Structure 1
Amino acid sequence: MALAPLTFSTDNHGWAELLPHRQPTKTLTGTHRVPWVVIGAGVTGLSAARRLAENNPNDQVLLLDARQLGQGASGRNSGYAVAISQFSGAFDKEQEKNYRRIARINAQGLDLLRQQVGDLGINCQWQEDGYYHTAADAASLKEYDNFKDHLNRLGYEHTLLNKDDLTDRLGTSLYQAGIHVPKGVLLQPAALVHGLGDNLPANVTLYENSPVLKINQGEPCHLELENGQITADKVIVATNYEAPKLGFLNRYIMGSTLSGSFTRQLTNDELSNLGSLKEWGVLSLHSGGATVRLTRDKRISLRNTAEYHGAVLMSDTFLSKRQDIHRAAFEKRFPQLSHVPFEFSWSGVEGISQNFTNFFGRQAPNIYLAGGYNGSGVSRGTAFGAALADYACNISSDLVDDCLASAPATWIPPRPFLDIGAFFKVKMRFIGVGLDR
């Protein structure tokens, strides 16, 4: 009996739309017998496949993606590769080891990406000057004090900025205070994923538009696809919030759908009405605040909605309504650019856990999984992918130990309670957001 096809929502809206057309690889067909399969070609899967190939140069590795490269979450985020994570609330001395553990994971992911981007000559607008954590309203100003204390206690480099400093640099007078953290990278996420996927080691074969419909667990595993079958000794699952479709993390991970808009390219005159910086990124200190970027190709990108939307992308109708929210936030920040239209809007889904932990480890004797990055997937997903490959190869390291130390996830009730709980959990992000939205 044929398996019912799974749904993997995609559209033409996202960072990939700003890039030259790329021809996808072929779809997997036929019967295959291999040592290794990696499911999911986002940053985690790409990192895992590369490390598997390095660890096992004589083994064939199949890398499968249900979509085209760059159409999943890894190509639809705002392009921040985080080094220093912000934790809401006051500094918790009992969590200091955990703060430092997460920073080490982020740093190793950045180190891996930096080396790969350099060695492979990937043009992804890599900008390593960190970003600005900003506050415009009361709730985020409180988090400004918390984050400042956090950085001081952990000894992380940073610069405090007042309203005039931020206005001079960013060209908006909305923000009352901010912190520049120099560690961290801005990039074009779809270009990064394209570059990594198009420059894989010789013993890795990428198949796009090739969703796995079912995994029959055993030793070896049997994977069923629409037009093919694979028998593999070991499988790495790097599908993040879509892991439940393959029978993993049911009621432990959910998808939050975010949306944002891009302006057209700004003219030189329009750029002159902004601040002194020609490229920058802003992260609101309020968890529900807007993420704003001035990109290297002279666009402003603004994301300021997150909601439970069934873990799928938004239709054009929904995006049109969300664009009104983006527009109001844009003109509030940049009234001098109120005449500049948006070129298009986009949506993407992030994988989040109930207690904001990450997933890493063995799911079955020969199945391994990583995911659930809660919005920090570019750097952390890269680190988790490499560490998971090492772990599957029985290679120990400090990074593997750090990833294994992730706190257990808390259980999410089944539907309809899942839908209700997820809706309100995501909605809670916006309480008190005020001017930071």
Structure 2
Amino acid sequence: MTSVTSLPADDNSCGWYHLSQQRQPTAAHRGHSQAPWVIVGAGFTGLAAARELATRFPDQVIILVDAQEVGFGTSGRNAGFAIDLPHDIGAPDYIGDITIAKKTLKLNLSGQAYLKELVQRHAIDCQLKHCGKYQAAIEPKGIAILDAYRSGLDKLEQPYEMLEAQDLPAHIGTHFYRKALFTPGTSLVQPSALVKGLADTLPGNVSLFENTPITSVEYGRKSVLKHAHGSITADKLILTNNAFAMSFGFLKGRMLPVFTYASLTRPLTAEEQARLGGKPYWGLIPAHPFGTTVRRTPDNRILVRNSFSFNPNGRSDPRYLARFVKRHAASFERRFPMLPGVPFDYTWGGALALSRNHEGYFGELRPNVYGALCCNGLGVTRGTATGKLLGEWLAGERNELIDFVLGAVGPNANPPSLLVSVGVNLNLQWGQFKAGREA
């Protein structure tokens, strides 16, 4: 028996969750159940896998369980960018091997297209806007990154527009940035609203149980998942719970639960909107990976996301919120001096499952146990795509994208745990320092 020693425990201050339409969570699981398919983790990946399996096997029951409420956890806490383009930060041009980059682009586009189709089909109210994204820089090293990425996009034959400082206020209002690379393929969403909508429109043969933390698992010909009020027996078990899969006994020491933090303002008044100017909604990511992500939402709020912490147990730590909201306020004031005194309504943290080599896992973990894990910060598109592909593969299909993700090398092993804690935290602090004015 494997005891699950680490369970999700996110803070209760996520703005996306509280501002999205409230829903009645499904009941927690009680008693003893058995099903051909059991999925642990009802985020983007698990929802896509459940939907695909339910479609492929309409006469079979698919059980989907989550330790928390849908839309409350990691999938509802990101910045809401459904990104299409590959971005290999280890390559000089941020594209790297062109063959891999083309398949990664195709993978991301498949997840993005699937989400758009579901939002349209089920009329999910999640502020989906296909408006592209800006990647912006202030300092020379950031501008050099944009120039390098532009050369990579040329190699990949993808469209973009380079915007100079004098052009940017018409797009994003602020004069803060010196240059930006605009790429048109990104969609922006309200992530918690999207996840809630996806959960509420699952096929009828999916049984969703929320607030059901699994406390132990017995592996064998079948897998028996136990919780405080019963058990669930799976013919085939699917893990889509990212770094928490390590507590289930898989990929131990190969994923890093890193938290990033965001704050969301109150809605801007009409007068404040006029002072800001620019487009009515947009999303901006920093040239430097440790810089600040900024969004103007369709309901006229400003999102600021920066700062990182390494939380080895994958659980929120309230000490960081009080510390990082001050950093968010400073970042906001530098970018938006025309909006003095605009307060934040919400500040929250959310986990990323990262690996040292930026690779995820897709495939069989042990007989009759499978996983699509470690999205490396691209959960909206990559998680959706790999979840759907996992359902297709388990239904017996093979195609170019399934072969691509099956052939990936998977996450690298980390150094010993003590070295990891020291090394990751030092690396995060150093990275944020190097981001300079982009922080």
Q: Where does residue 233 of structure 1 map in the other structure?
A: 235
Inter-partner Cα distance in structure 1 for 2:47 and 2:431: 31
* Cα offset, 1:95, TM superposition: 1.3
8 Å CA contact 1:302, 1:326 repeated in 2: yes
Inter-partner Cα distance in structure 2 for 1:17 and 1:291: 21
Alignment coverage as a number of residue pairs: 437
Counterparts in 2 of 1:188-267, with a 5 A limit? Answer: 188-267=190-269
Aligned-pair RMSD on alpha carbons?
1.8
Q: Where does residue 117 of structure 1 map in the other structure?
A: 119
Inter-partner Cα distance in structure 2 for 1:3 and 1:244: 11
Counterparts in 2 of 1:130-209, with a 5 A limit? Answer: 130-209=132-211
Inter-partner Cα distance in structure 2 for 1:275 and 1:96: 39
Amino acid at match of 2:432: F
1:395 aligned counterpart, secondary structure: coil
Q: Where does residue 42 of structure 2 map in the other structure?
A: 41
Q: Does 1:318 align with 2:298?
A: no
2:58 aligned counterpart, secondary structure: coil
Amino acid at match of 1:273: R
2:116 aligned counterpart, secondary structure: helix
Q: Where does residue 84 of structure 1 map in the other structure?
A: 85
Q: Where does residue 379 of structure 1 map in the other structure?
A: 381
Counterparts in 2 of 1:268-283, with a 5 A limit? Answer: 268-283=270-285
1:416 aligned counterpart, secondary structure: helix
Counterparts in 2 of 1:360-379, with a 5 A limit? Answer: 360-379=362-381
Q: Deviations over 1:170-225 (max 9, x none)?
A: 11111111111000110000000000011110100100011122222221221112
Which consecutive residues of structure 2, in runs of 5 or more, have no partner in the other structure?
Answer: none
* Cα offset, 1:313, TM superposition: 4.8
Q: Where does residue 8 of structure 2 map in the other structure?
A: 8
2:305 aligned counterpart, secondary structure: strand
In structure 2, the CA distance between the partners of 1:5 and 1:408, relative to structure 1 (3 Å rule), is: closer
1:350 aligned counterpart, secondary structure: strand
Inter-partner Cα distance in structure 1 for 2:93 and 2:17: 38
Inter-partner Cα distance in structure 2 for 1:430 and 1:101: 31
Which is worse superposed, 354-363 or 404-413?
404-413
Inter-partner Cα distance in structure 2 for 1:237 and 1:316: 27
Inter-partner Cα distance in structure 1 for 2:222 and 2:368: 8
Q: Deviations over 1:95-120 (max 9, x none)?
A: 11121121111000011101111111
8 Å CA contact 2:169, 2:175 repeated in 1: yes
In structure 2, the CA distance between the partners of 1:92 and 1:69, relative to structure 1 (3 Å rule), is: closer
Inter-partner Cα distance in structure 2 for 1:290 and 1:240: 24
Q: Where does residue 60 of structure 2 map in the other structure?
A: 59
8 Å CA contact 2:170, 2:278 repeated in 1: yes
Inter-partner Cα distance in structure 1 for 2:286 and 2:46: 29
Inter-partner Cα distance in structure 2 for 1:101 and 1:204: 31
Inter-partner Cα distance in structure 2 for 1:44 and 1:4: 20
Inter-partner Cα distance in structure 2 for 1:2 and 1:238: 17
In structure 2, the CA distance between the partners of 1:211 and 1:435, relative to structure 1 (3 Å rule), is: same
* Cα offset, 1:3, TM superposition: 6.4
Inter-partner Cα distance in structure 2 for 1:208 and 1:314: 19
Task: State percent identity of aligned pairs.
Answer: 34
1:386 aligned counterpart, secondary structure: helix
Q: Where does residue 26 of structure 2 map in the other structure?
A: 25
1:363 aligned counterpart, secondary structure: strand
Inter-partner Cα distance in structure 1 for 2:332 and 2:196: 29
* Cα offset, 1:5, TM superposition: 6.7
Inter-partner Cα distance in structure 1 for 2:2 and 2:396: 36
8 Å CA contact 2:308, 2:428 repeated in 1: yes
In structure 2, the CA distance between the partners of 1:20 and 1:390, relative to structure 1 (3 Å rule), is: closer
Q: Deviations over 1:340-388 (max 9, x none)?
A: 1111211101000011111111101111111211111100000000111
Amino acid at match of 1:410: N
Inter-partner Cα distance in structure 1 for 2:4 and 2:118: 38
TM-score for the superposition, normalised by structure 1: 0.96
Inter-partner Cα distance in structure 2 for 1:2 and 1:163: 56
Amino acid at match of 2:66: D
Q: Deviations over 1:203-259 (max 9, x none)?
A: 001000111222222212211122111221111100011111111110000111111
Inter-partner Cα distance in structure 2 for 1:105 and 1:363: 22
Amino acid at match of 1:219: R
* Cα offset, 1:12, TM superposition: 1.6
Q: Does 1:436 align with 2:438?
A: yes
8 Å CA contact 1:109, 1:383 repeated in 2: yes
Q: Where does residue 327 of structure 1 map in the other structure?
A: 329
Inter-partner Cα distance in structure 2 for 1:321 and 1:93: 35
Counterparts in 2 of 1:369-408, with a 5 A limit? Answer: 369-408=371-410
8 Å CA contact 2:73, 2:350 repeated in 1: yes
Inter-partner Cα distance in structure 2 for 1:3 and 1:91: 44
In structure 2, the CA distance between the partners of 1:425 and 1:358, relative to structure 1 (3 Å rule), is: farther
In structure 2, the CA distance between the partners of 1:270 and 1:162, relative to structure 1 (3 Å rule), is: same
1:273 aligned counterpart, secondary structure: helix
8 Å CA contact 1:137, 1:433 repeated in 2: no
* Cα offset, 1:20, TM superposition: 3.4
8 Å CA contact 1:368, 1:392 repeated in 2: no
Amino acid at match of 1:18: L
Q: Where does residue 344 of structure 1 map in the other structure?
A: 346
In structure 2, the CA distance between the partners of 1:84 and 1:386, relative to structure 1 (3 Å rule), is: same
In structure 2, the CA distance between the partners of 1:2 and 1:222, relative to structure 1 (3 Å rule), is: closer
* Cα offset, 1:315, TM superposition: 4.1
8 Å CA contact 2:7, 2:244 repeated in 1: no
Inter-partner Cα distance in structure 2 for 1:92 and 1:29: 48
